[in-house]
């Protein structure tokens, strides 16, 4: 386990590996900063807080969730261009975690900063389209990723203290039946970001629990790894062979070597 950053993030989140640049992209939500780490060096730029996520876009650039609006950037230094906004009647909400499915659709969730039950949602955004509510009645939309054949979506609404699994139609981009996958005792932390590795294992960050976990595809707890930070937020595989595991936190960025490979993310509008 390595501590990579000298300056701690206020609330680091949303790590994603950029294979073409051999770089790790993440956000600092509270600082409103986009951060790109490559070759041991970091570039930071301010986009405005709260900055919930940033993901690569097909053809270059990024799509990001800032406050309750979606913005596009032509490159790391470009001025943001507004794409859409959601929930104008809910000023206490903001975008939180997001990911793109294998067809390049963006799935972006909001969260209630006051924890108002059911006040947030998970949105589906087709390239060039407007955000559509895919899952309503959410409180703190958080980690999400798909299994290896994209027939199941693993999803966290943090206040439920569990990971759910939702049947997924990858061709139509539609959600089906939802059921519990793995429960987390509140004493072990708040379920936060997650990712799925190349073997189908589901990795989960435990915010306030100072640890990450791996579950098998059957929902069995396979590993519990204590960390050097108390508030890990999310997880992503990276490195030349996708065998480095990066963990963001309310503090430093960590890198682990778990002996398992990950998968490359699909860019927005790709593959």
Q: Give, for 193, the enclosing helix (H) or strand (E).
A: strand 190-196
CA distance 226 to 186: 16
Q: What are phi and psi of 160, to 5 degrees?
A: -80, -15
pTM for the whole structure: 0.96
CA distance 73 to 60: 9
Strand order across the beta sheet in which 93-100 lies: 93-100, 106-112, 120-125, 132-138
CA distance 52 to 11: 10
Q: Give, for 15, the enclosing helix (H) or strand (E).
A: strand 12-18
Q: Which residue out of 28, 192, 197, 244 is catalytically annotated?
A: 192
Q: What does the angle CA 102 – CA 87 – CA 177 come to, to the nearest 5 degrees?
A: 45
In this prediction, residue 271 carries a pLDDT of 79
CA distance 179 to 98: 20
Six-digit token string for 5: 């950053």
- What homologous superfamily does CATH list for 2-256? TolB, C-terminal domain (2.120.10.30)
CA distance 71 to 12: 19
Distinct helix (H) and strand (E) counts, the chain: 0, 24
Q: What are phi and psi of 159, to 5 degrees?
A: -70, -15
In this prediction, residue 5 carries a pLDDT of 83
CA distance 155 to 165: 6
Q: Are 155 and 162 in contact (CB under 8 A)?
A: no
Q: Is 171 a catalytic residue?
A: no
Neighbours of 106 (CB within 10 A): 26
In this prediction, residue 21 carries a pLDDT of 95
Domain ranges of the chain: 2-256
The rounded average pLDDT for each run of 10 residues, N- to C-terminus, in the chain (271 residues) is 89 97 97 95 95 97 98 96 97 98 98 98 96 98 97 98 98 97 98 98 98 97 97 98 98 97 96 79
In this prediction, residue 146 carries a pLDDT of 98
């Amino acid at each position: 386990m390595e501590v990579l950053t000298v300056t701690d993030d206020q609330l680091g989140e949303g790590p994603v590996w950029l294979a073409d640049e051999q770089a790790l992209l993440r956000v600092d939500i509270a600082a409103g900063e986009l951060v790109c780490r490559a070759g041991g060096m970091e570039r930071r730029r301010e986009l405005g807080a709260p900055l919930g996520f940033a993901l690569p876009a097909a053809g270059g650039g990024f799509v990001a969730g800032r406050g309750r609006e979606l913005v596009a950037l032509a490159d790391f230094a470009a001025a943001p261009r507004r794409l859409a906004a959601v929930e104008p009647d809910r000023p206490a909400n903001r975008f939180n975690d997001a990911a793109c499915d294998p067809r390049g659709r963006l799935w972006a969730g909001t969260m209630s900063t006051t924890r108002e039950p059911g006040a947030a949602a998970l949105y589906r955004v087709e390239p060039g389209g407007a955000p559509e509510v895919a899952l309503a009645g959410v409180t703190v939309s958080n980690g999400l990723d798909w299994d290896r054949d994209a027939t199941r979506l693993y999803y966290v609404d943090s206040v439920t203290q569990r990971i759910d699994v939702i049947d997924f139609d990858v061709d139509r981009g539609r959600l089906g039946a939802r059921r519990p996958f793995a429960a987390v005792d509140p004493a072990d932390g708040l379920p936060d970001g997650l990712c799925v590795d190349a073997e189908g294992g589901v990795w989960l960050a435990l915010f306030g629990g100072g640890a990450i976990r791996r579950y098998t595809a059957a929902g069995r707890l396979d590993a519990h790894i204590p960390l050097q930070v108390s508030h890990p937020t999310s997880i992503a595989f990276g490195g030349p062979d996708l065998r480095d595991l990066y963990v963001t936190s309310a503090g430093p960025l960590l890198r682990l070597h778990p002996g398992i490979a990950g998968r490359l993310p699909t860019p927005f509008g790709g593959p």
